[in-house]
Structure 1
Amino acid sequence: METKLKAEESNNTTITEFVLVGFSDEPNLQWILFGTFFIMYLIILLGNSIIILITTVDPTLRNPMYFFLGNFSFLEICYVTVTIPGMLRDIWTRKGNISFLACAMQMCFFLIFGGTECLLLTVMAYDRYVAICNPLHYPVAMNRRVCIQLVAGSWISGILVEIGQTCQIFSLSFCGSNTINHFFCDIPPVIKLACGDIAVNQMVVYILATMFLMLPFLWIVVSYGKIISNILKLSSAKGRAKAFSTCSSHLTVVILFYGTAAINYLLPKSNQSEGLGKLVCLFYTILTPMMNPVVYSLRNKDVMVALKRLL
């Protein structure tokens, strides 16, 4: 695989094309990786499409929790489609060339969908908190209008902030190497190629990562802490076990998603190799999206009953 284009002799000439290295450093695993990622992508598409379908057509699933799940599943499909098809194409063709504009667009959409997902997961945790800890106020607190506003707020916040962040990063000058040691245009490997002082840009990345990763994560942990506290008051041992099982699986996926993303965006890059960065990135770009349909929906009895009715 070609890993470099001819560098311009003059540093005043900016780069118009990048080369994504991807997994070309593992030539013996190319087809295994292609098959694995392709199957995972199909699982993500199928699982989330089923959830969108049943939450849309089944009248018994017309409550806030399933409204959020349907939106979350749609967001997951968008999120993985930004990166996986391009990665599969690069593995298949053994070429990773991507234009400057396409790289900027890919980063922008990835950040929008990723940032919106972080906020929507927080909304879903809040929904469960109100439902379990304040059940009498739940119909009023989470009425249809509020649900739509929460989802719209998540999308609008993600779009406005991440478009600004992408514009800031790609307003930098890129000269010299055009090789991105990653499988898509993510912030850390792209910003390393910029010329000049990038301290301000890195500070903005840390601030926004804290806003979209750490603050939502802390809110989710607090919400589930209060949920677990209420679960302990249940008289039924079977009810406690079921509730703990649900909460523990949700928290496992949340920790995996937010934890690996935080490592990638908040940990100083001198503390991790580029290979480790790609491996960590696979967790929040592919693995957790594949687990989410099972953890959040397909283990749910109401969802399975609705699926059987549909079939």
Structure 2
Amino acid sequence: MSDKPPVEPPGSEITSERLYLRRRDFLRNAGLFTGTAAAVAGGLYLLTRKQRRFMDAYVPDAGAVTGPVVKAKGAFDTDEPRTPYEDVTTYNNFYELGLDKEDPARLAHYLKPRPWTVTVDGEVHEPKTVDIDQLLSWFTMEERVYRMRCVEAWSMVIPWLGFPLAALLSRVKPTSHARYVTFTTLMDPEQLPGQQRPVLDWPYLEGLRLDEAMHPLTFMAMGLYGKQLPAQNGAPLRLVVPWKYGFKGGKSIVRISLTRTMPLTTWNMAAPHEYGFYANVNPAVTHPRWSQATERRIGDFERRPTLPFNGYGEQVAHLYAGMDLRENF
């Protein structure tokens, strides 16, 4: 990683929405964009009339999550203003449903979140394959209001509904050999038309160390804003790890496996010099093509400083005591 101080773009260099630099630029034009130009990867996004019409056309009102829901303020909730539902559901990275930010909502109707099963296996004493609605019945849904920081340098604040991943892993009883957790997402090019293009090595894979997975902040989301999780946001089940960049949050998960060794992860395989296994939010570690020192909250005009561990350092920094976070990025 470079030790050079981050360079922030002048306002005159902020590009239009259609010209935003995104991670797909790596896939199409690897190496073409460096320094200041790529620092605007997550530039200004405002909900326009066009985008409101888009919302009306492609994002039907999702039904409420059935069963008991706890919405009391949690110990880790942020008081920052929530990103509007319209933005959360129409500004998405979900390459399985297309490369443009609007593609996932536009193509979401292809993804059918029922019927759906999730397998939890590997280094566990009691492996399970469970129907998604049975899984829903196992846990009281909690609301967690978390910051979400994308590696592209934009961010949101989202009220998720779900349950701690630790509660699910405790049910299958990890063996003494379990060290890591692998998350495998749906592989079905008919439901996920983006998989018809070899932009990544499908299916999408992500992973955590077991202690990260068991941390109270680590969350399995089945809804947001009190409603069922929309397809473009990873229905019916996605991972949320708020101190890590958003690409760690695998969407439409079908398998969770506990392993002895560090698993392969999709973006780390695609570009290991840009996307590390840990993906902890770290403003001091500059992405090779843009600074991570600041971010732009969706809907805001001004950039803000990026917080170490996305503001959750008090809760999670101890997990990385003694580690070189530049090397283990």
- TM-score scaled to structure 2, two decimals? 0.25
Give the TM-score normalised by structure 1. Answer: 0.25
Instruction: Specify the structure having the higher radius of gyration (Cα).
Output: 1
Flag the structure with higher strand content.
2
Task: Flag the structure with higher helix content.
Answer: 1
